[in-house]
Structure 1
Amino acid sequence: MSVRNDIADRIPGGDAGLIVAVLLTVYATYVLAGVVLGYSLRGQLNTIAVLTFYIAVFAMLALALNLHWGYTGLFNIGIVGFMAVGIYVMALVSKPVYTPGGAAQVGGLGLPLIVGIIAGMAAAALLGLVIALPALRLRADYLAIVTIAMSEIVRFSFLSGDLGKFQLFGKRVGFGGGSGLILDFTDPMEAFFQFFGLWDAYLGFVGAFEIIIPNNPKPVVDGLVYGVVLLGFVGSYYWLLKRTGESPFGRVLKAIREDEDAANSLGKNTNRFKIKAFMLGCALMGLVGILWLMTSGSITPNFFRPRVTFFIWIALIIGGSGSNTGSILGGAVFAALLFQGPRYAKNLIDTVLPNADAPSSFGPAVAPLFTNFDPAPLFFYTIDSVRQLQLVFMGLVLIWLMHNRPEGMLGHRKETAAGIPLTASRARGPASADGGERGGEVDE
């Protein structure tokens, strides 16, 4: 790989070392914040578990979006719709069969959880196919319009009372409507370890934590272990997309991104390649929707609002589109600084300055800045309203990135486009002076 302006060159281990270094820095910062806030060991471990969860889900979604936008140039702003289809179809397939008098108003088909996960991914991919067939024949901005419209159609469909409950194969099933859907299938953690025959060993592992985390350590350990499992999925996504990008299929996708007409002139059916890439990315997004929400106990359609899609775009832009390493780093930085960071910053400032009074509205907060140049009221108002202003902070960060670092954290990168080295051997003399670069490279 030939890399220009690459931060990873200065860190041992290359891309993997850079990812580990960023994660260790993030965790160390949160642990220090927990010490200042006076968190107990249980509180610290819960913080790490929640942080790991969000880092993993945003990294996976950024990787899936990178396949669409970074590799193929497909402008998908309906990500949350594919997530919704994934988790709702999984619930339809794997929820227990409805029993009168039970807590749940609707049931499912009662199939194993793994079958439901596969069905959810397949449904998300099929929805991607339905969208791609007409939209990819149009310009890229039409695909963006179609995908965001699709995500809203999906959300309002799941809000519909008509789909709240219905009969399927003689069973009472449904999506719950606006009141949401209870996920009363087998505990995913138990199903995961049962699948590998390790459930008893896992219970013994949890029991060992009684010494340092008394009074039911299982929720804390479950959160930590689930975070580790999700990081394993991040590694799987990274491996899959890296292999895809290095394959002949991936090289055609990048050719389409750079110049679709040129790829067409070389005899490539670009529509077929784009549809395959779009379906694969949609399936990966559907899987993340399942992994994100299947442990939550219930789901509601209004979770799947468009802003989640824009969170993922910000994560990808932070890391740099076209780079799988950048997608992971962007997901980690977004989760730690922009998604979870404001809440912890507010807690820290409230702890350090417990008696600071914040103005109740924007007017009293900004007036002292112009009358006597006192920024303190505006600062404390901003901190007190940090959750409400979170989207404003994200917008400011996005504007700064677009002006100062549009290529993302890792800068401009290149990767080998050929399956074999194309550099001329020294024994054959100097390469022809054609002004081209050696190695057959294209931008990553």
Structure 2
Amino acid sequence: MSDDASSAGVGDRLFGFLNRDPGLVLGVLGAIYLVYILSGVVFGFSLRGQLNTVANLTFYIGVFGMLALALNLHWGYTGLFNIGIVGFMAIGVYVTAIVSKPPAAQGGAAQVGGFGLPLGVGVVAGVVVAALFGLLVGLPALRLRADYLAIVTIAFSEIIRFTLMSRTFQTYTVPDTIDLWLFTLDPAADTIGLGGGGGLILNYTPPLEAILSALFLWDPYLGFVDFVQQNFIANNPKPVVDSLTYGLILLLVCALFYWLLTRTGSSPFGRVLKAIREDEDVANSLGKNTNRFKLKSFVFGCALMAFGGILWYAGRGSITPPSFRPNITFYIWIALIIGGPGSNTGSFLGGAVFAAALYEGPRLIKNLIEAAVGSLEGPGSFGQAMAAMGSFDPWPLLAYTLNSISQLRLVIMGLVLIWLMHNRPDGMLGHRKETASSIDLSRPEGVGGDADAAATDGGEQQ
């Protein structure tokens, strides 16, 4: 075989791999990380700065990937227009905090304590309670369709946020001793609550330590941190290494979400959900209890959203109700729209592209410019920035824009969303196909038809 033929064969295999779902995911992630790393190298970031940038990117790819996959179960599979995502995230996070926070100190009436149970118990409790609230909301709301379901879910999300801010539920006194199955709560656990507008201090075991300890990897991990300190980063590398390691764990959880939802979508249950998405009346006429299927899908998705929210916020030092404003919900919707509803691969890639380009991208650009030209000192208002344009000096406007990067990020997201809805409503992967049966119903090649004849659009397989 000639060298040209061998090279062509390798190129064809590489192209074939990149054209399949695993190749698409690895190719897009590789391109994203390559751009971020090369940008840091070109502009002279230190090793610590590079690792911080990559850790933040990995964290947000993980959380937006998870939540876009959970939303895909509602909208992409079942056609449920849920825009109350952040409400279920808040329930999961706050329940986890209340269950796992240590008790308030004796005599510390101003403090808001918790039940002091292990973090794993708190996570399970948060997911279960969010699922129960999903059941409570879904029973009446899922009889509604389209815009009406959206109104109910966003109203529920705001009710949760204002409840968290209420002084009525700020603190609550419980009996001195409570027996919960295998756990007897500390008598000091007498002051719990939602914390009101001040939120809650998350002073339980950090999630990274809890996960690695459960896997008996905490001591080896501490040894690895010492190795990094001795050879690469002398000044306290643990926060950077912690962030990067936790981000990698989130990517593994994303892979678990992907596998779980792919199995769900290809199961008989998942095929009924897709039938409901296409035409609920037809699915109902075939003897399927569509209300029950929609309720199961809604509850399952709410539990996944709560779990994603717990992993997002559990590692922070505190939580407050403003962290759960509706803009988080719309971020997740943009991520799903970028990737394409109905495709788990597209949902994850949409989350990755959203995190890299729209969420962290503007901040990276600002950091790169500051690394190149130094700190930006600009005017304090838009009017002052525009006034400088009268003397043909664009620098004040540029400095003001970069210093207001958070507001600029929202503008860019809105423009991208408008462009996508007009030009690419199917998402970045475009029109995809899914098998309509649990067995291959396609005709063999050469027997009167296309091998892909028995397929419908909107799913996983190209």
* Deviation of the 1:277 alpha carbon: 0.4
* Deviation of the 1:247 alpha carbon: 0.5
Distance in 2 (CA, whole Å) between partners of 1:69 and 1:35 is 40
Residue aligning to 1:438: 453
Residue aligning to 1:50: 56
Residue aligning to 1:20: 26
Residue aligning to 2:439: 420
Confirm or deny: 8 A CA contact 1:163 1:176 kept in the other structure: yes
Q: Which amino acid aligns with 1:100?
A: Q
Answering whether residue 289 of structure 2 is matched by residue 269 of structure 1, we say yes
Matches within 5 A, 1:352-371: 352-354=372-374, 361-363=381-383
Confirm or deny: 8 A CA contact 2:445 2:451 kept in the other structure: no
Given the two structures, how large is their TM-score scaled by the length of structure 2? Answer: 0.87
Residue aligning to 1:288: 308
Q: Which amino acid aligns with 1:191?
A: A
Confirm or deny: 8 A CA contact 1:96 1:110 kept in the other structure: yes
Identify the structure with bigger relative contact order (alpha carbons < 8 Å, sequence gap 6+): 1
- 2:423 corresponds, among 404, 414, 427, to 404
* Deviation of the 1:425 alpha carbon: 5.3
* Deviation of the 1:232 alpha carbon: 0.5
* Deviation of the 1:108 alpha carbon: 1.3
Residue aligning to 2:228: 209
Larger CA deviation: 140-149 vs 353-362: 353-362
- 1:41 corresponds, among 28, 42, 47, to 47
1:202-233 CA distance string (max 9 Å, x none): 22222211211112222111111101110000
Residue aligning to 1:147: 153
Residue aligning to 2:182: none
Answering whether residue 142 of structure 2 is matched by residue 136 of structure 1, we say yes
Distance in 2 (CA, whole Å) between partners of 1:393 and 1:43 is 25
Unaligned ranges ≥5, structure 1? 1-7
Confirm or deny: 8 A CA contact 1:86 1:121 kept in the other structure: yes
Answering whether residue 118 of structure 2 is matched by residue 115 of structure 1, we say no
Larger CA deviation: 328-337 vs 92-101: 92-101
* Deviation of the 1:345 alpha carbon: 1.0
Q: Which amino acid aligns with 2:79?
A: G
Residue aligning to 2:90: 84
Larger CA deviation: 258-267 vs 207-216: 207-216
1:361-405 CA distance string (max 9 Å, x none): 445655788x89987765554334322222111101111111111
Matches within 5 A, 1:145-184: 145-170=151-176, 171-184=190-203
1:66-85 CA distance string (max 9 Å, x none): 00001111000010000000
* Deviation of the 1:342 alpha carbon: 0.8
Q: Which amino acid aligns with 1:441?
A: T
* Deviation of the 1:164 alpha carbon: 1.2
User: Does the C-alpha gap of structure 1 residues 368 and 221 become closer, same or farther in structure 2, counting only changes over 3 Å?
Assistant: closer
Confirm or deny: 8 A CA contact 2:56 2:243 kept in the other structure: yes
Answering whether residue 61 of structure 2 is matched by residue 66 of structure 1, we say no
Q: Give secondary structure in 2 for the equivalent of 1:235.
A: helix
Distance in 2 (CA, whole Å) between partners of 1:87 and 1:196 is 23
Q: Which amino acid aligns with 1:251?
A: R
User: Does the C-alpha gap of structure 1 residues 355 and 325 become closer, same or farther in structure 2, counting only changes over 3 Å?
Assistant: closer
- 2:405 corresponds, among 364, 381, 386, to 386
Distance in 2 (CA, whole Å) between partners of 1:84 and 1:316 is 20
* Deviation of the 1:440 alpha carbon: 4.2
Residue aligning to 1:345: 365
Distance in 2 (CA, whole Å) between partners of 1:223 and 1:197 is 19
User: Does the C-alpha gap of structure 1 residues 129 and 169 become closer, same or farther in structure 2, counting only changes over 3 Å?
Assistant: farther
Q: Which amino acid aligns with 2:275?
A: A
User: Does the C-alpha gap of structure 1 residues 267 and 368 become closer, same or farther in structure 2, counting only changes over 3 Å?
Assistant: same
- 1:300 corresponds, among 295, 312, 320, to 320
Residue aligning to 1:5: none
Distance in 2 (CA, whole Å) between partners of 1:220 and 1:189 is 13
User: Does the C-alpha gap of structure 1 residues 383 and 44 become closer, same or farther in structure 2, counting only changes over 3 Å?
Assistant: same
Distance in 2 (CA, whole Å) between partners of 1:102 and 1:45 is 40
Given the two structures, how large is their TM-score scaled by the length of structure 1? Answer: 0.90
User: Does the C-alpha gap of structure 1 residues 200 and 359 become closer, same or farther in structure 2, counting only changes over 3 Å?
Assistant: closer
1:294-334 CA distance string (max 9 Å, x none): 11011001100000100111111111111111111111111
* Deviation of the 1:30 alpha carbon: 1.4
Q: Give secondary structure in 1 for the equivalent of 2:81.
A: coil
Larger CA deviation: 412-421 vs 97-106: 97-106
- 2:332 corresponds, among 299, 302, 312, to 312
* Deviation of the 1:353 alpha carbon: 4.5
Q: Give secondary structure in 2 for the equivalent of 1:441.
A: strand
* Deviation of the 1:104 alpha carbon: 7.8
Unaligned ranges ≥5, structure 2? 1-13, 177-189
Confirm or deny: 8 A CA contact 2:343 2:458 kept in the other structure: no
Distance in 2 (CA, whole Å) between partners of 1:354 and 1:205 is 34
Let me know the Cα RMSD of the aligned residues.
Answer: 2.5
Distance in 1 (CA, whole Å) between partners of 2:343 and 2:360 is 24
Confirm or deny: 8 A CA contact 2:66 2:348 kept in the other structure: yes
User: Does the C-alpha gap of structure 1 residues 360 and 115 become closer, same or farther in structure 2, counting only changes over 3 Å?
Assistant: closer
* Deviation of the 1:424 alpha carbon: 3.9
